[in-house]
Amino acid sequence: MKEVNVTLKFITPTFVGAAENKRVSEFRIPSLKGLLRFWWRVYQDFPRETELYKAESQIFGDTEHKASFSISLDQSLQNLIFTKPGYPFNIKQDGIKYLFFSMYRKTGRTAWLPANTTVDLQFRFFDEQNVKEVITALWWLENFGGIGARSRRGAGSFQITKIEPIEGIQGIPQFMCQKWSPKTGNLKENILGFLETGINSSYHPRSSQIPSYTAFRENISNYKVLARYTSWEDAANNIGTKLVGFPKPNRPPRSARFEDESKAIHSFSSSGSYPSQGPNPLARPAFGLPIQYYFRNHTKVEASGSVHSRRASPLFVKIGCMPNGDQYYVIVLSLWSEFLPDNEELKIEISEGSHNGKTQNLNQPDKTVIDNFLSSL
């Protein structure tokens, strides 16, 4: 049996729940294992999903077989239970409020794991052949993801501060804490090079087609780095402000919310009929479903799939910190995959007002608006 000790430190507030997740936060191992499974899938490229699931089950287990590894806390769980009245972030910073909007105290949540919380973990591998796969998934999770609610928008971002050298196993990407440091003064280019090296060592492309599940694909997926921030708040507020202001970043954020689409939806909410010249497809839903549009005439319109009510955002925002802790950065990753099944349409439905229940089906959005957002950074 091979053991690997890992220490991680949260960079941003982390919204993870216990049995009473609004009043108590608790670091949970099953959640971490689920995230490792997700990010392992991201860097796979199997021609058929049946092959993917078979390989995945051999590592992470399924209903018939246990996982090939275990994770345990190397510290008291009591040190990772946190509850405190108040706000987990500066509510005067609009960019952060946008990223973490559903985590306001008004929702009843008074618990979270604060930034700088440290977690000591021990990985035990019953099958050493899978050490590379699991630790590589941890690399992807550290560099592109996070833990807990709103992790696709920067919450629960963490850095690995310690991981023991794994002898005898080749091909595991280098972690930043393993004596990595920028080689030149251009921090952004150095981080991009670090990510490219790690991706190239773990991802071996076979297909250039849009995947049916969330996965990295050459010439489809994309990522950008924004660098040189002095705090996680500065980094999160900056990228949040860019998201709020898109697609017209030179105008005040409140006037930059896909005006043509909002006008068409407002017309639909008022008349019960979608304008014949209205945008089709809508672009904003590409950032995730459902979307709720509220108007001053007390009407509400919800956009979702005509069959599936939810579609997670393909955009991942990661807040990072340099190993020496003196500079912060942002990684924005697009993992575009099949938005909805081919035969499914986008549905907008009036859920409040005089035309309550009226619906209109529109075309699915494509990834153009996501690409445009990354290009704007």
CA 58 to CA 133: how far, in whole Å? Answer: 11
CA 287 to CA 314: how far, in whole Å? Answer: 7
Average confidence (pLDDT) over 302-320: 96
CB 162 within 8 A of CB 50: no
Question: What does the pLDDT look like over 260-287, one tens digit per residue?
Answer: 898 999 999 999 999 999 999 999 999 9
Mention every residue, 6+ apart, whose C-beta is less than 8 A from residue 100.
Answer: 13, 15, 88, 89, 150, 153, 154, 155
Residue 88's pLDDT is 78
% of the chain exceeding 90 in pLDDT: 70
Amino acid occupying residue 194: F
CA 120 to CA 9: how far, in whole Å? Answer: 9
What is the helix (H) or strand (E) element at residue 318, kind and residue range?
strand 315-321
Amino acid occupying residue 108: G
Average confidence (pLDDT) over 78-82: 72
DSSP β-ladder status, 222-229 and 25-26:
unpaired
5-9, 204-208, 257-261, 315-319: segment of lowest average pLDDT: 257-261
Average confidence (pLDDT) over 177-201: 94
Question: What does the pLDDT look like over 339-375, one tens digit per residue?
Answer: 999 899 999 999 988 899 999 999 999 999 999 999 9
Longest dimension (CA), the chain: 68
CB 349 within 8 A of CB 359: yes
What is the helix (H) or strand (E) element at residue 352, kind and residue range?
strand 346-352
Residue 103's pLDDT is 82
- Residue ranges per structural domain of the chain: 2-376
Q: Exposure of 365 by Cβ count < 10 A (0-12 exposed, 13-18 middle, 19+ buried)?
A: buried
209-213, 285-289, 317-321: segment of lowest average pLDDT: 209-213
Residue 143 in tokens: 């560099």
Q: In what order do the strands lie in the sheet with 69-73?
A: 69-73, 118-125, 2-10, 158-163
